């Protein structure tokens, strides 16, 4: 007699208490395995490394410094990425062939020393500030160091930028309020105190007008090093009583800018354009028929009056920036008398004047490039001066000059330092020519990803950390900081021009 086919027994649903027991056993096995994961690093190329660590005692951080290996062979590395990973692990307490899904920390990093020697499963632990400081001492900056604060993940260790790296263009980016202007002022203070580099600042919000004023209560070594700076800073502002009134001569502008001020297009308005060129010709020899818009109305020369009326209707006569008598900012740009020139664009009455002055400065710097005098050209709120898309002819001219300086200025000693809130707002040919990056808090992950593509030499994981920065924290990378690092900006020596409006309006109300 044959027995019929047997049906496999249906798994019996676990009752509530059975389920609890099984789950607790599973969790305990999993936790046992997860706790036993050792912090280990492996490198196949002796340049980068991969690491693992238990999530239960994770003391590694992205951007943080680590010591890898045994004491006599130990070397310093930097974690550039850290994330939660998972693996299937088996363990004696489990049925044969069964495994548990466990989670662990996985990451990667760069070796800061001992490069070229691969290793496998070496112990990895966080480096102490003393160990990081010792590494910094073994790798000093080649040129004068600019101490801008401390290493964010090695407290107490000075964050020292190599001033020699400023012979490349620099891009600074961060959310509004992330601390760009404060930090840029701090960097400029150190540049002025520690180097002899000439600095010109296009200052749209009058933020840098206090660079020559030392803050109350600042003393010690820093104040001493800064003591000679105040006399080297000249602020050009829109005030006839100021030591340096911010003035231009129309005749000093380049041809394209003169025409743009009068709204003339070289093709569409070719007759008027040619007439203007004729009236202003020979300005260098002082033989020009007119030297500024106001003279156009009074001139008997053919066509001059029509051009004068055009200027009048555009409101150009009302600009306070014109002055045939006072020294022109252009003369200062051509033949500097001061080490640091702050161009207080914020003091001008109209955006048109601000754009024109910025254009005139950039154009004059380019025109004088053959003097090969090294100069750091700082453009805060660069999206207004060299925007991705210029909406008026003068800004278009300014953006073109900035692009030209970005592309070819370096070999003439013209180094740009542009600062903005979003990378896409600045002309891409300016951003793409920058070799140094100062990245502050960014809310947009998409913007960070785009910057990662432009600054591909910076580890992507370090860039991603910018979305969790606090005010005053920055990622510094490039020739000024060959090993990209997180920095906490220090304290300013000089006065801030336009600090934020205090939040007194949000103080809790006192009950009557
Ligand atoms: N490291 C810092 N220490 C102390 N105060 C700071 C620091 N960084 C910024 N601040 C203060 O925070 C405020 C905003 O900073 P800041 O003006 O530099 O931001 P920002 O990034 O330039 O903003 P925006 O893009 O709007 O110009 C200022 O009042 C400044 O004084
Ligand atoms: Mg700012």
The closest ligand to the CA of 502 turns out to be: 1
Q: Give the residue whose CA is nearest to atom 18 of ligand 1.
A: 179
Q: What is the CATH T-level fold of the domain 145-248+325-489, as seen in this structure? A: Rossmann fold (3.40.50)
- Give the ligand at the shortest distance from the Cα of 182: 1
Q: Whose CA is nearest to atom 16 of ligand 1?
A: 179
pLDDT the model gives residue 250:
85
Q: Is the pLDDT of residue 401 over 90?
A: yes
Strand partners, 88: 101
Q: To test the ligand 1 pocket, which listed residue (172, 181, 442) has its Cβ within 8 A of the most ligand atoms?
A: 181
pLDDT band at residue 4 under the 50/70/90 scheme: low
For ligand 2, the distance from its centroid to the CA atom of residue 204, given in whole angstroms, is: 9
How many A from CA of 381 to the centre of ligand 2?
7
CB atoms within 10 A of CB 213: 15
Average the pLDDT over 372-386 and give the result.
97
Ligand 1 test: best mutation among 159, 218, 382, 471, most atoms within 8 Å of CB? 471
**Atom nearest to 207 CA in ligand 1:** 17
Q: How confident is the model at residue 285 (pLDDT cuts 50, 70, 90)?
A: low
In whole angstroms, what is the distance from residue 53 CA to residue 33 CA? 12
Confidence at residue 290, expressed as pLDDT on a 0 to 100 scale: 55
> What's the CA gap between 354 and 344, in Å, rounded?
9
Q: How far is the CA of 187 from the centre of ligand 1 (A)?
A: 13
The model's pLDDT over 485-497, given as tens digits with 9 standing for 90+, comes to: 999 999 999 998 8
Q: What is the pTM of this model?
A: 0.91
pLDDT 10s digits, 139-172: 999 999 999 999 999 999 999 999 999 999 999 9
- Pocket (CB within 6 angstroms of ligand 1): 174, 176-182, 421, 471-472, 489, 496, 499-500
Length in residues, the chain: 512
Q: Model confidence over 402-458: pLDDT tens digits? A: 999 999 999 999 999 999 999 999 999 999 999 999 999 999 999 999 999 999 999
CB atoms within 10 A of CB 355: 25
**CA 184 to ligand 1: nearest atom:** 18
Pocket test for ligand 1, best of 171, 177, 496 (most atoms within 8 A of CB): 177
Among residues 92, 86, 64, 88, the alpha carbon closest in space to that of 77 is found at: 64
Q: Can you read off the two tokens belonging to residue 56? A: 């239960």
Cα separation, 469 vs 354, in Å, equals 32
Q: What spacing in Å lies between the alpha carbon of 380 and ligand 2's midpoint?
A: 7
Give the Å distance between the CA of 206 and the centre of ligand 1. 14
Distance CA 267, CA 77 (A): 60
- Report how far ligand 2's centroid is from the alpha carbon of 200 (Å): 17
Residues 23-80 have pLDDT tens digits of 888 889 899 999 999 999 999 999 999 999 999 999 999 999 999 998 778 999 999 9
- Give the whole-angstrom CA distance, residue 406 versus residue 433: 6
C-beta of residue 356 within 8 angstroms of C-beta of residue 398: no
Task: Tell me, in angstroms, the distance from the centre of ligand 2 to residue 355's CA.
Answer: 18
C-alpha of residue 182 to centroid of ligand 1, in Å: 5
Does the pLDDT at position 103 exceed 50?
yes
Give nearest CA residue, ligand 1 atom 24. Answer: 176
Centre of ligand 2 from the C-alpha of residue 505, in Å: 22
Which residue owns the Cα nearest ligand 1 atom 3? 472
Which two tokens mark 288?
């020009």
Q: Closest-lying ligand to the alpha carbon of 496?
A: 1
Distance 441 CA to ligand 1 centre (A): 11
**Residue range 94-99: average pLDDT?**
77
Looking at the CA of 379, name the nearest ligand: 2
Q: What is the pLDDT of residue 378?
A: 98
**By mean pLDDT, which of 59-73, 166-180, 307-321 is the weakest?**
307-321
Index of the ligand 1 atom closest to the CA of residue 488: 1
CA-closest residue to ligand 1 atom 10: 179
Backbone angles phi, psi at 483, to 5 degrees: -105, 105
Q: Where are the domains of the chain?
A: 25-128, 145-248+325-489, 252-317
Query: What is the number of other CB atoms lying within 10 angstroms of the CB of residue 183?
Result: 26
Reported as a single tens digit per residue, the pLDDT across 246-279 is 999 888 888 899 999 989 988 899 988 888 888 7
Q: In this structure, which residue's CA is closest to atom 11 in ligand 1?
A: 179
d(CA 226, CA 214): 8
Ligand nearest to the CA of 442: 1
Question: Which of 440, 450, 438 shows the shortest CA–CA distance to 473?
Answer: 440
Is the pLDDT confidence value at 368 over 50?
yes
Over residues 310-320, the mean pLDDT reads: 86
Mean pLDDT of all residues belonging to the chain: 91
Give the C-alpha separation, 335 to 299, whole Å: 31
Separation of CA 500 and ligand 1 centre (Å): 7
User: Is the pLDDT assigned to residue 280 strictly greater than 90?
Assistant: no
The region of weakest confidence among 211-225, 301-315, 376-390 is 301-315
Question: Of 292 and 274, which is predicted with more confidence?
Answer: 274
Percentage above 90 pLDDT, the chain: 71
| C-alpha to C-alpha distance for 109 and 430, rounded to whole angstroms | 30
pLDDT band, residue 1 (cuts 50/70/90) = very low
Residue located nearest, by CA, to atom 8 of ligand 1: 179
Residue 2 has pLDDT above 50, yes or no: no
Starting from the CA of residue 175, give the closest ligand. 1
């Amino acid at each position: 007699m044959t027995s019929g086919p047997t049906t496999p027994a249906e798994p019996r649903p676990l009752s509530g208490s059975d389920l609890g027991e099984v789950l607790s056993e599973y969790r305990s096995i999993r936790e046992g395995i997860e706790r036993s994961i050792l912090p280990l690093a492996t490198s196949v190329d002796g340049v980068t490394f991969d690491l693992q660590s238990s999530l239960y005692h994770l003391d590694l951080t992205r951007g943080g410094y680590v010591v890898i290996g045994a004491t006599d062979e130990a070397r310093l590395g930097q974690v550039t990425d850290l994330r939660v990973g998972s693996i299937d692990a088996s363990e004696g307490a489990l049925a044969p062939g069964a495994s548990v899904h466990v989670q662990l920390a996985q990451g990667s990093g760069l070796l800061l020393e001992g490069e070229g020697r691969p290793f496998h499963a070496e112990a990895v632990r966080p480096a102490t500030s003393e160990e990081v400081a010792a590494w910094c001492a073994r790798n000093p900056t080649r040129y004068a160091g600019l101490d801008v604060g401390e290493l964010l993940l090695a407290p107490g260790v000075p964050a020292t930028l190599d001033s020699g790296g400023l012979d490349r263009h620099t891009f600074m980016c961060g959310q509004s309020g992330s601390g760009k202007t404060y930090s840029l002022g701090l960097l400029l203070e150190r540049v002025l105190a520690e180097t002899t580099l000439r600095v010109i600042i296009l200052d749209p919000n009058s933020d840098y007008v206090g660079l020559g004023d030392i803050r109350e209560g600042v003393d010690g070594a820093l104040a001493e090093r800064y003591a000679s700076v105040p006399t080297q800073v000249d602020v050009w502002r829109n005030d006839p009583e100021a030591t340096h009134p911010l003035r231009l001569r129309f005749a000093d502008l380049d041809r394209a800018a003169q025409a743009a001020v009068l709204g003339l297009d070289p093709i569409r308005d070719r007759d008027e354009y040619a007439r203007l060129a004729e009236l202003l010709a020979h300005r260098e020899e002082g033989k020009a028929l007119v030297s500024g818009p106001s003279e156009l109305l009074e001139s008997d020369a053919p066509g001059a009056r029509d051009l004068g009326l055009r200027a009048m209707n555009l409101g150009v006569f009302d600009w306070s920036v014109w002055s045939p008598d006072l020294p022109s900012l252009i003369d200062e740009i051509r033949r500097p008398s001061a080490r640091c020139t702050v161009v207080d664009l914020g003091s001008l009455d109209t955006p048109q004047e601000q754009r024109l002055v910025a254009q005139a400065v950039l154009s004059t710097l380019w025109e004088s490039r053959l003097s090969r005098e090294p100069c750091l050209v700082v453009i805060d709120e660069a999206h207004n001066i060299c925007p991705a898309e210029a909406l008026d002819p003068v800004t278009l001219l300014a953006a073109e000059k900035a692009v030209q300086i970005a592309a070819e200025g370096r070999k003439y000693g013209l180094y740009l330092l542009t600062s903005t809130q979003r990378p896409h707002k600045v002309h891409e040919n300016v951003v793409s020519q920058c070799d140094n990056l100062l990245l502050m808090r960014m809310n947009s992950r998409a913007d960070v990803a785009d910057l990662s593509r432009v600054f591909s030499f910076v580890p992507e994981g370090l860039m991603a950390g910018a979305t969790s920065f606090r005010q005053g924290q920055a990622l510094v990378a490039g020739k000024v900081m060959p090993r990209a690092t997180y920095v906490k900006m220090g304290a300013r020596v000089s006065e801030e021009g336009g600090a934020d409006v205090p939040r007194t309006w949000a103080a809790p109300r006192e009950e009557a």
